[in-house]
Amino acid sequence: MSRLIDELRKLPGVGAKTAQRFAFYILRSPECDAEALSNAIRALKAQLRLCSVCNNVTDVDPCIYCSSPTRSHRTVCVVSEPTDIAAVEKTRSYNGVFHVLHGTLSPLNGIGPDQLRTSNLLNRLSDLDEIILALSPTVEGEATSHYLATELHHASADHPLRVTRIATGIPAGADIEYADEVTMSRAMDGRREV
State the residues that interact with a second copy by CB under 8 A: 79, 81, 83-84, 86-88, 90-94, 132-138, 145-146, 149, 162-194
Q: What's the min distance (Å) between Cβ of 169 and a second copy?
A: 3
**CB of 112 or CB of 190, closer to a second copy:** 190
Give the nearer residue to a second copy in terms of CB position, either 19 or 82: 82
Cβ(128)–Cβ(88) below 8 Å: no
Classify strands 57-58 and 97-100 as parallel, antiparallel or unpaired: unpaired
CB of 131 to a second copy, least distance (A): 10
Of 52 and 138, nearer to a second copy (C-beta) is 138
CA 37 to chain centre: 26
Minimum distance of a second copy from residue 43's CB (angstroms):
26
Closer to a second copy at the Cβ: 39 or 109? 109
Q: CB-side exposure of 88: number of CA atoms within 13 Å?
A: 24
Q: Closest Cα partner for 143 from 153, 135, 154, 152?
A: 135
Evaluate whether 55 touches 117 at the Cβ level (below 8 Å). Answer: yes
